[in-house]
Structure formats: structure tokens, C-alpha cells
């Protein structure tokens, strides 16, 4: 993306000598400070004072105290546009907020959405059609649901990584790419140096447990017993992994849409569903893990809108002898009441087993929702009435596409 940005500058007529790109993980730059690189750039190219320049530092987290140096550069050279990027999201976010208040604008780049994946794979126009509706809104339909589901599986297996989508070599062995980019760089290097983690192998093992069980409800008590790691340390690991944008914790509400005062359980989702396949192998449509991965994929689409994603919870409560659950419930920030509710399934049997949707029925019956509750399926599209509550059914792949496309459209 940085190179695309540079190409855009060149296409707009900016001379190449006015652009500096430095990847700070290159040994050549070891020991150099940012100001020294900028001065060298200005002197070598003989740029006059005040000339508009662009300076791009990639993998900036490898330079000690980069945020202090960058803050000084921004103040010293108002004529230079600085861009600093890196793969250690936790380090960049924490230090930019500490030192760059009022000077730095922070951008987080989430994994590819399903809509972006289809576009890069050049399958979007073939598999999706947009239909205008009378209220001025659009509805997306699948021209070939089986073909769309095939691409959805590809998305789950490798489509969250742009490199895998664009490069067949990476696509054939995403685990090697992931190990270099996430395991070695983030888990074993960036997070330990940032937070002083001494046992990197323990952190790595814990992340593997979370990745394998993405979408499951977890509790610190059981996790501690299973992993032999103290609960306090588990809490710290969860915070580190969430700050690094590898996982997302989701909090539980009850049937009254209230957060549990002393919640002992929560759900954990990978921010990128392709991480699981890269760690444990490709998944097939009939595998048991498909339900949880479909749920993870839906969550990963919402991560592109921080306001909406922060409003999302899961509901779980006791009703008589039964435990009822709804996978996704959005809470209106103003009223603290549910706005919409979604049950994520990767199955076409659900329309014939409506009794399994009792949690959705009770929640929708108790709270007026802004839109009718939705149940995702593998390929079935339709409507059903459950004890007076109208429920919509739609394929989960199409639902992921719809979320992603609508979010992208709203940003434009």
C-alpha cells in the first residue's frame, strides 16, 4: 500500500527525488536516527528550505524511541509529510498516543473483508448482483451460491492475507508466511520487547489455544486449569494479544441486554479467520470448526467499523432448565437496548429446526429491534414465523459480503 501511495504521488507529477522511503528493518539503517536520515535525504538531493517533501518510514517500531524522534521531526519540518507504518500494532498505537497527541493521525488497517477478497480474486462481478429496492437501499444477491461458498472457504483459509490472495506461492503455504509475519515478528519479538514478556513460548502456546477455539466461550478459571498459567498472567496475555489486533474479546449480556456484573466468561475471536487455517491447516465445508469460523468471519467484517464493533455482544442466559444464546446482539449506545440480533449458522437444516432458535425468539419478543432478526445458513434464503416473530434466513457468505460492502460504501 505504501508503494501504491508512492506510485500515486509519481502519477500526480511529484518528482521521485522529493520522496524518501526507508524500511527500518533493513540492517543498513541500524543505529541511525530518523533525523539523521531526513537530513541526509535533504542534503543529498539538495532540497531548498520549505520545499514540499514526503518521507515514509516503514517498520518504524524497530527504531528505539521512534515516537520521540518523529514528534521532533514533525515540529521541525512543517513542509514534510511524514508517514510511519509498522506491523506491531500494539507498539505503534501505544507510543503514538503517548507522544503524538495533536500531531499524529492514527490509521489501523484490518484484515481483508470478504468483499475486498472477492474483488482482488476477480470474482465479485461474477458472483454478486446488486438489486435496487424501493426505499433507496440496495440488496445484494448471489448469482451462484455454491460458487460463492467456494470462495468463502478460500477466504477463510487464506483470503484474510492480501499477500496470499495476490501471490500463488504464498497461497500454497500460508503457514510459512504467517510464522514469519505474526509468530516470529509479533508474538516472539514485538510483544515481548514492548511488554517485557519473558516466556515467549508460553504466550505462543496460549495464542494457539485461542486460535484453535476461535468463537468459543471461555473462562479464566478453565483456561488457567487447562494451561497451568496463572489467571493474572492470562489476563495480561489477553490484553497484549488484543492490543496487537490478533484477537477480539466479546462480552456477554443477559436477556435484558445487561452486561454481567461479575462476568466469568467471554468469547474470543481471531481478528483474521485465516490465522486458524495457517496454524492448523486448511478447513473444508464439512468440518466441525466451520460454524465457529463462519462466526469469526462475520465478526472480522464488523471490525472495519469501530463504533459498530464496540456495540456488539453475545447474549446468554438461563430460561428454566435451558441455557439460551444469541451469537451477535448490537446494543444502541444511547438507549442501551438491542438494535439487531443475528444467529450464525453454517447449515441449511435450521429452517426445519426452529426450536433451536428459542434464544433469538425470546430476545426479539422482549425487545423491539430496528430490523427483524437474522439467521445465517449455508445456502438457504427465506423467511419463517416463529411464535409471532418474523425471522430472515440468508447465506453466511452473502451476509459477510453485505456487511463489508455496506461498510466500504459508507466510508466513501
The overall average pLDDT reported for the chain is: 89
Collapsing DSSP states into helix, strand and coil, what is residue 337? coil
Question: Do strands 247-250 and 138-142 pair parallel, antiparallel, or not at all (unpaired)?
Answer: unpaired
Identify the pLDDT of residue 378. 97
Identify the CA nearest to 289 among candidates 266, 304, 270, 303: 270
Rounded alpha-carbon distances, angstroms, from residue 117 to 5, 85, 92, 278: 20, 23, 26, 17
Q: Are 164 and 177 in contact (CB under 8 A)?
A: yes
**H or E element: which one contains 338?**
strand 338-343
Phi and psi at 218, nearest 5°, equal: -125, 160
Identify the CA nearest to 195 among candidates 138, 233, 160: 233
C-alpha cell at 194: 514492548
What is the rounded CA–CA span in Å between residue 358 and residue 117? 34
Q: Are 220 and 280 in contact (CB under 8 A)?
A: no
Residue 270 β-bridge partners: 247
Identify the pLDDT of residue 105. 72
Enumerate residue ranges in the chain where pLDDT < 50. Answer: 100
What is the rounded CA–CA span in Å between residue 237 and residue 201? 12
Residue 347 β-bridge partners: none
pTM of the model: 0.87
Question: Do strands 80-84 and 53-58 pair parallel, antiparallel, or not at all (unpaired)?
Answer: parallel
Q: Are 283 and 276 in contact (CB under 8 A)?
A: yes
N-terminal to C-terminal alpha carbon distance within the chain = 18
pLDDT digits (tens, 9 = 90+) for 73-118: 999 999 999 999 876 555 555 555 555 455 667 677 788 999 999 9
Domain ranges of the chain: 2-99, 114-411
Identify the pLDDT of residue 390. 94
Q: In what order do the strands lie in the sheet with 389-395?
A: 252-253, 312-319, 322-331, 338-343, 374-377, 389-395, 382-386
What is the rounded CA–CA span in Å between residue 108 and residue 246? 13
In the numeric block, the cell 511524514 is attached to 82
Identify the CA nearest to 404 among candidates 65, 160, 193, 199: 160
Amino acid at each position: 500500500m505504501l508503494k501504491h501511495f508512492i506510485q500515486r504521488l509519481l502519477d500526480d507529477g511529484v518528482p521521485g527525488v522529493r520522496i524518501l522511503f526507508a524500511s527500518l528493518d533493513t540492517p543498513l539503517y541500524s543505529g541511525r536516527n530518523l533525523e539523521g536520515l531526513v537530513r541526509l535525504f535533504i542534503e543529498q538531493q539538495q532540497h531548498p528550505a520549505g520545499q514540499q517533501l514526503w518521507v515514509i518510514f516503514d517498520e518504524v517500531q524497530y527504531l528505539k524511541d521512534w515516537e520521540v524522534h518523529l514528534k521532533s521531526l514533525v515540529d521541525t519540518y512543517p513542509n514534510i509529510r511524514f508517514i510511519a507504518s509498522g506491523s506491531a500494532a500494539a507498539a505503534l498505537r501505544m507510543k503514538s498516543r503517548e507522544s503524538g497527541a495533536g500531531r499524529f493521525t492514527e490509521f489501523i488497517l484490518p484484515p481483508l473483508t470478504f468483499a475486498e477478497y472477492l474483488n482482488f480474486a476477480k470474482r465479485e462481478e461474477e458472483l454478486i448482483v446488486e438489486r435496487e429496492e424501493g426505499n433507496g437501499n440496495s440488496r445484494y444477491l448471489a448469482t451462484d451460491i455454491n460458487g460463492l461458498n467456494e470462495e468463502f472457504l478460500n477466504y477463510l483459509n487464506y483470503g484474510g492475507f492480501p499477500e496470499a490472495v495476490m501471490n500463488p506461492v504464498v497461497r500454497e503455504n500460508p503457514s510459512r508466511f504467517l510464522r514469519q509475519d505474526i509468530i516470529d515478528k509479533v508474538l516472539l519479538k514485538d510483544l515481548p520487547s514492548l511488554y517485557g514478556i519473558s516466556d515467549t513460548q508460553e504466550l505462543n502456546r496460549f495464542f494457539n489455544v485461542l486460535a484453535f477455539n476461535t468463537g468459543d466461550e471461555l473462562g479464566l478459571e478453565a483456561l488457567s486449569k487447562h494451561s497451568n498459567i496463572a489467571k493474572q498472567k492470562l489476563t495480561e496475555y489477553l490484553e497484549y494479544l488484543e492490543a496487537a489486533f490478533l484477537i477480539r474479546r466479546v462480552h456477554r449480556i443477559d436477556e435484558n441486554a445487561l452486561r454481567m456484573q461479575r462476568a466469568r466468561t467471554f468469547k474470543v475471536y481471531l481478528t483474521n479467520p485465516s490465522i486458524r487455517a495457517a496454524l492448523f491447516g486448511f478447513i473444508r465445508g464439512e468440518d466441525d470448526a466451520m460454524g465457529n469460523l463462519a462466526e469469526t468471519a462475520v465478526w472480522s467484517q464488523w471490525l472495519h467499523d469501530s463504533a459498530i464493533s464496540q456495540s456488539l455482544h453475545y447474549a446468554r442466559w438461563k430460561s428454566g432448565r435451558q441455557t439460551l444464546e444469541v451469537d451477535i446482539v448490537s446494543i444502541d449506545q444511547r438507549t442501551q437496548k438491542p438494535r439487531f440480533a443475528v444467529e450464525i449458522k453454517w447449515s441449511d437444516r435450521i429452517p426445519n429446526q426452529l426450536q433451536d432458535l428459542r434464544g433469538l425468539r425470546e430476545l426479539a419478543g422482549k425487545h423491539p429491534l430496528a430490523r427483524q432478526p437474522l439467521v445465517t445458513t449455508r445456502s438457504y434464503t427465506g423467511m419463517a414465523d416463529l411464535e409471532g416473530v418474523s425471522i430472515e434466513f440468508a447465506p453466511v457468505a452473502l451476509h459477510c459480503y453485505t456487511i463489508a460492502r455496506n461498510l466500504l460504501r459508507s466510508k466513501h
